[in-house]
Amino acid sequence: MDDRNSHLVASFPGTFPTTATLNGSSKSSCQSMKASSRLQQAVDAGEFLVTAEVMPAKGGNPIHMVEQALTLKGRVHAVNITDGSRAVLRMSSLAAAAILLQQGIEPVCQMACRDRNRVALQADLMGASALGIHNILALTGDPIKAGDHPKARGVFDLESVRLLQVIDKLNHGLDCNDQSLSDGVTQLFPGAAVDPQLASWSGLQRRFERKVAAGAQFFQSQLIVDFDRLEKFMSQIAADYNKPILAGIFLLKSAKNAQFINRCVPGVNIPEAIIDRLARATDPLQEGIAIAAEQVQLARQLCQGVHMMAVKREDLIPQILDMAGVPPVDVVATVAKVH
């Protein structure tokens, strides 16, 4: 890099390794580069990982989104920004992630293949890296008909495994056609989704292994209600790959909320015992918080982290973590440095 332009680099949040950084290395791009994000540092250090999910704004004013995300600062390693979840229109996940980064909140930018072809996906990935948004969750995307624009056309030029392969190429200085990137490699830390409760065990194993082979460095699960199944997945599939699994923990606000999820979310079957417990509670929301805290405690015994989901009540996630005995992540990091 020309020293005369070094002041320009200092004005951007991203880090800029060159293609030469990776030449001659047979390791995955994420293994061969210095940790680019707090989340990656926590993974490398073997910390118990905590992420949470926030929806982008529905419109041009991001204030509510930022307010919800700020309640999580210091309690989670990173905040997921969804990308058209359930095919419902919201602000661009890349723009929303950039806004959170400006507030000192590390984002995980979800990137779905439903709405963009491989040219647009690669463009957004390069832009994310330049903006300092390093954590990417590669997703296929929910079906168009599930959302609020059923007449829109899905793209699905790629799916999640192929998107992970593209990210790995970009991290090595190549586009998906194996052409060199003239302006340097990306520095992205890719993750993927996993559903340990999938009906097909062989399908679950095959899909998980393909995502690992494609370069996924961490996995966030769908909402977990069957912890026996999670334990089986961890011992029989995930144990061989040394990739952190974050169990999805969902705040149920009422029995009606739980019944709605059972009807509308494929593959989820919240047990009747939990629904009855919420129905009998004098304060269903507080009971839901207690249930979520108990599930976090179960997850701590089985896997390497939790992914917290509390739709429109993200402000309650710190209370759940406190009840579960999970300390703030900055405290964990400080202790680790001391030792």
- Does 21 map to a domain? no
- Does 332 map to a domain? no
Is residue 229 classed exposed, middle or buried when 0-12, 13-18 and 19+ CB atoms within 10 A define those classes?
A: middle
- The tens digit of pLDDT for each residue in 309-335 reads 999 999 999 999 999 999 999 866 555
- Does 18 map to a domain? no
Q: Which of 253, 305, 304 is nearest to 52 (CA)?
A: 305
* Greater model confidence, 142 or 330: 142
- The tens digit of pLDDT for each residue in 192-230 reads 999 999 999 999 999 999 999 999 999 999 999 999 999
Provide the domain count of the chain. 1
Please name the residue that has the structure tokens 């992630």.
97
* Residue 86: partners with Cβ closer than 8 Å, 6 or more residues away: 142, 146, 147
pLDDT of residue 26: 41
- Does 288 map to a domain? no
Q: Is the C-alpha dihedral spanning 286, 322, 299, 81 positive or negative?
A: positive
- The tens digit of pLDDT for each residue in 170-195 reads 999 999 999 999 999 999 999 999 99
Which residue range forms the structural domain that includes residue 150?
27-253+304-317
- Does 195 map to a domain? yes
pLDDT of residue 330: 81
- Does 213 map to a domain? yes
Q: For residue 192, give the CATH number of its domain.
A: 3.20.20.220
What is the spatial distance between Cα 55 and Cα 213, in angstroms, rounded to a whole number? 29
pTM comes to 0.90
The average confidence (pLDDT) of the chain is: 91
pLDDT score of 102 more than 50: yes
* Greater model confidence, 14 or 262: 262
Phi-psi region of 319 (alpha: psi -120 to 50; beta: other; left: phi over 0): alpha
